Amino acid sequence: MDTAVGSHHGPGLNALPAVAIVVPAAIIQVAATFPAAHFQGASDKINALTITLLLAGPLLLLLRRRFPVTTFLSVVGVTVLYLLLEYPYGPVFLSVVIALFNAVLHGRRPIAWLSGPAAVGTVMALMDVTDHGYSVGLGEVAFAVAWLTLIMVVAEIVKIRKDRAAQEAETREEQAKRRAGEERLKIAREVHDVLAHHVSLINVQSGVALHLLDQQPEQARQALTAIKQSSKEVLVELRSILGVLRDVDGTSDAPRHPVASLDQLDPLLERMRSAGLRVRLDMTGERRAVPSGVDAAALRIVQESLTNTYRHAGSTDVTVLLEYRPDDLRIQVDDDGRGDVSGAKLGSGSGLAGMRQRAEALGGTLEAGPRPGGGFRVTATLPTGHVEHSAEPPAEHTAHHADNHTHNHTDDHTDDHTDDHTDDGAARTGNETS
């Protein structure tokens, strides 16, 4: 079936408006035929039918968009009729050249390559029969073959370049879609991190406030203050995320996604301490700047681990270890509570799976499971690249940097942080304050 192949690929004859081909071809074929007939002494042969056939070829080019090969064969048919009627030679062959180029460029390649030589051979045979002053010899054949080859090879080269450009465009489009998907995933992960952490704190602290409201109102007041602070911080961070989502054109000077980093670790630990966890930070090796992806993942892994401990552990003693090694950063979070051993080793929980995805996306590893003797341990190793001379420790940022907070995590992990553990949190805080 003769239909255009790849007519949507890039510029070409099919991409031009119809008048850009038809009108110039018609004008040239009609106007230039008169002087050609004069020099051949055949001016008396030009009549209404001659003009009609000269216009028919260009008009048939209107069909080139949908039927390139059929258009070529039709134009050849009109030209053959013109020659059979022994009208004067001239630019009548222009429509044939355009139609042949278009057929190779946009038609089905085998049909076009077979039709071209067959049509040229037919025209030459007719000229040999109808014109007694013309005979087909080796020179005429060589001339025709040279022009035929030139037209078809040039069309083939243009076709190859167009196809390559189309493939590159498709590749760019796929890459753009993939990047857009990755950006959506980053935003979804960030929303999970922000909501999971702060909502967990608000959930447990609200239970504490209800439990102590009558017996220990001062402790209840502290819990409500913590709720107020957490709700304020979550609003600030969500406002930052929504600002990224609103900047769909990328016109803002703000980062494409908010940047979380270990500079925000101290405010995180203080927030967890105020919520009732006894957190200790140990650091070995010389602290240095690490790649932004590692920086963000490290903070989120610590945050996720502390949030899980806050929600599930029976005790509130937690140790966070940051070990700066020449080629990587090792993070270890230990608690001495009962731990959630069901499926933790395999990372079946959504939060553990999200932390593992963060580490593996950077070429690192993450292990989580019960500690010998009780408690739970999360260990992550994130490659940083070999550093011979460590950089100076980055300056500490203040807590307001939460406005620029965001990077990787998955949106489907939220369920790991929405269970209601208010009774457990209330009992734990009540025992600590009594």
pLDDT at 380 over 90: yes
Q: pLDDT per residue over 38-75, tens digit each?
A: 888 888 889 999 999 999 999 999 888 788 888 988 99
Q: 260 and 300 in contact (C-beta within 8 Å)?
A: yes
253-to-184, 240, 243, 244, 257 alpha-carbon distances in Å: 19, 13, 11, 10, 11
* Domain extent listing, the chain: 13-136, 182-433
Mean pLDDT lowest among 256-270, 363-377, 402-416: 402-416
266 near 307, Cβ under 8 Å? no
Integer CA distances (angstroms), 106 to 2, 43, 56, 147, 222, in order: 10, 38, 21, 20, 76
Measured in degrees and rounded to the nearest 5, phi and psi for residue 366 equal -145, 135
Q: Has domain 182-433 been given CATH number 1.10.1760.20?
A: no
**Residue 94 vs residue 350, higher pLDDT:** 94
Each residue's pLDDT tens digit, 97-114: 888 888 888 877 778 788
pTM here is: 0.49
Residues 383-415 have pLDDT tens digits of 998 655 443 444 333 333 333 333 333 333 333
Residue 404 pLDDT:
37
At residue 85 the predicted structure's pLDDT band, cuts being 50, 70 and 90, is: confident
Assess contact for 373 and 339: CB atoms under 8 A. Answer: no
Closest among 271, 267, 152 to 201, alpha carbons compared: 271
3-state percent helix, strand, coil for the chain, nearest multiple of 5: 65, 10, 30
197 vs 34, 234, 268, 309, CA distance in Å? 87, 9, 10, 11
Distances 18 to 35, 91, 93, 224 between C-alpha atoms, Å: 27, 20, 19, 74
